[in-house]
Structure 1
């Protein structure tokens, strides 16, 4: 768990694992490397029952400014069939699934920009606290791609409701921490200096819970929240994203 990561900083404090997105020079943009490292951390969690809570945060001025779009043209150039892009999309889905289903309770500690795929990472966490300086945006349509990253759309619809998410996706408008709390994207909003205290107020009781009860409760919450989904259309997210990016790159090359 404490291996030498390049895009993450990982530290354990008792039953709490702190995972820091650690590429502040890119706004912690989500690259293939970052996804690989998150998968390694999340894959090891269930082998370590001593970890009850995972706290996900970002270094620098922003939590995460979205996917690293600089990788897309290179992946298409390497394989014009889009296999590399599909693999990247499937990795994103696996990371989000792992955040939602790991036995540990996952907490997103948010500040600054929380954009696109950064919103995706956040909403797949069980609990979310944001600084009052947070700014959110779902910019995908403005970038020429659908909201098809990691299964973000059904998660947002389930957590917040269709009407407001429809507006935010179609307009790609910015929204602040107060609006995010009204939408249940955030559970709490605090001054940035109080973020760590807010996280601690959650972690202190959580680490005292029965591991079996905590695990069962999380499994039940996930099962009941997904009970009304007849089919999982997010299986097509990687294909949709690949097709849209390929079309956009082809248009740009004309």
Structure 2
């Protein structure tokens, strides 16, 4: 499989796992438009690849992501001054397109969070299927303190932790650490920085025990909750269940259970 070339990301495929590292350490991996576009290209390139079962997002240099790139804001300001009234809209909406793609990615998306997890980085944490954080990571939505709004991020924060807590975080710009992020439901596991790699390895081992297509269909199902009528959703879920039982994975999973051995996909 040929992956897109990237300048702001380090990309490495390790068997069924695609590791993507945000690689702008001098700016604490602030998310530039170039980075947004490169992430979107990668997500699109692997979307239908059944051999890739998990995507790991992390940051270089001890930080995950400190938010949006101020230089892009300055560039949009120049475009607006030159008569492009939609420059800010296009810039902001592009990030929303990327985070939507990440949210809907068929693979299991895992974030490894340390250092700054702010703004756009906070948004990526909120769409991940599994979020592992360092105890001393710093989370927050600083936008309102800068006179702007978390426009593309806020809806995903509400989905992640509920309206009450999302309002508090967005309207105060509160900064907090990993254990509070876990209490709020933003992250699933909090460890010391030295244990991040071990925690990731354990999570990837659990993902490998799950059948690849069953995971894809299950993720699609849970993402539809609240967006489709329950009866039609359950009707489709029953059809998907029947397909799974009669499919190769269902047959292999049942046989592996009976024979007390790992399933063929557990590798």
Q: 2:15 & 2:209 partners in 1: Cα distance?
A: 12
Instruction: Give distance in 1, aligned partners of 2:27 and 2:226.
Output: 34
CA distance in 1, matches of 2:227, 2:193: 33
Q: Given that residues 57 and 111 in structure 2 are in contact (C-alpha distance below 8 angstroms), is that contact kept between their aligned partners in structure 1?
A: yes
How far is 1:208 from its partner? 3.6
In the alignment, the residues of structure 1 paired with residue 194 and residue 56 of structure 2 have an alpha-carbon distance, to the nearest angstrom, of 17
* Residue 164 of structure 1: aligned partner: 165
Name the SS of the counterpart of 1:174 in structure 2.
coil
Q: 2:125 aligns with which of 122, 145, 156?
A: 122
Per-residue CA deviation, residues 152-183 of structure 1 (Å, 9 max, x unaligned), is: 21221121122222111111121111110011
TM-score (norm 1): 0.84
Return the index of the structure with the highest Cα Rg.
2
**How large is the Cα RMSD of the aligned pairs?**
1.6
CA distance in 1, matches of 2:85, 2:132: 36
Aligned-partner Cα distance in 1 for 2:172–2:96: 24
Give 1:97 shift: 1.2
Tell me which moved more, 205-214 or 186-195: 205-214
Tell me which of the two structures has the higher relative contact order, counting C-alpha pairs closer than 8 angstroms and 6 or more residues apart: 1
2:47 counterpart of 1:58: no
Q: TM-score, normalised by structure 2?
A: 0.80
Q: Of residues 131, 137, 146 in structure 2, which corresponds to 1:134? A: 137
Residue equivalent to 2:114: 111
Task: Provide the residue aligned with 1:5 in structure 2.
Answer: 6
Q: Distance in 2 between matches of 1:93 and 1:132?
A: 28
Is the CA contact (8 Å cut-off) linking 1:76 and 1:82 kept in structure 2?
A: no
Instruction: Tell me if the contact between 1:75 and 1:82 (Cα under 8 Å) persists in the aligned partners.
Output: no
Deviation at 1:70, TM superposition (A): 2.0
User: C-alpha displacement at 1:226, in angstroms?
Assistant: 4.2
The unaligned stretches of length 5 or more in structure 2 are 230-267
Partner of 1:84: 87
Shift of residue 195, structure 1, vs aligned partner: 0.8
Q: Is the 8 A contact 2:4 2:45 kept in 1?
A: no
Q: Report deviation, 1:227.
A: 5.0
1:219 aligned residue: 220
Number of residue pairs the alignment of both structures matches: 226
After TM superposition, the structure 1 stretch with the greater mean CA deviation from structure 2, 182-191 or 219-228, is 219-228
Q: Does 1:68 align with 2:69?
A: yes
Contact 2:126 2:157 in 1 (8 A): yes
